[in-house]
C-alpha cells in the first residue's frame, strides 16, 4: 500500500508532516513523493496534497516546469482513478 505525498520526508521541520508520515508508516503504508513515475509504476492508494508550493517552486528547471509536472501528475492520478485528497488550511 502506498500514499503519495507532496511533503513525504520525515525530517521536515513541520510537526504535522512528521506525524503524518510516521503514522502512515506505522499503519503499513509507504509514503512516496509525488511524481509521474511513482504514479505510473507503484500501486497507489491515494494522493495527499499538502503545501504544493514546495513541489512546484523547488523544481530544478524553474517553477513553470514544476507547475507543468505537478499538473501532469494530477492528470495521471485522475486517469488511474487514484483518490486525490487536498489538505487545505490557512485559507
SS3 string, 34-77, reads CCHHHHHHCCCCEEEECCHHHHHHCCCCCHHHHHHHHHHHHHHH
**Closest residue by Cα to residue 33 from 2, 63, 71:** 2
Q: Is the pTM of this model over 0.85?
A: no
Confidence of residue 82 (pLDDT cuts 50, 70, 90): very high
Task: Measure the CA angle with vertex 21, ends 49 and 23; round to 5°.
Answer: 120
**In the chain, what percentage of residues exceed pLDDT 90?**
15
Give CA–CA dist 91/59, Å, rounded: 24
Assess whether pLDDT exceeds 90 at residue 63. no
In whole angstroms, give the CA distance from residue 39 to residue 55. Answer: 15
| Rounded average pLDDT over 36-50 | 86
Amino acid at each position: 500500500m502506498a500514499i503519495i505525498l507532496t511533503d513525504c520526508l520525515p525530517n521536515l521541520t513541520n510537526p504535522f508532516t512528521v506525524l503524518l508520515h510516521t503514522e502512515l508508516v506505522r499503519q503499513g503504508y509507504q509514503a512516496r513523493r509525488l511524481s509521474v513515475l511513482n504514479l505510473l509504476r507503484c500501486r497507489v492508494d491515494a494522493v495527499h496534497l499538502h503545501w504544493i508550493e514546495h513541489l512546484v517552486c523547488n523544481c530544478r528547471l524553474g517553477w513553470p516546469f514544476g507547475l507543468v509536472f505537478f499538473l501532469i501528475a494530477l492528470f495521471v492520478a485522475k486517469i488511474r482513478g487514484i483518490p486525490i485528497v487536498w489538505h487545505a488550511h490557512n485559507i
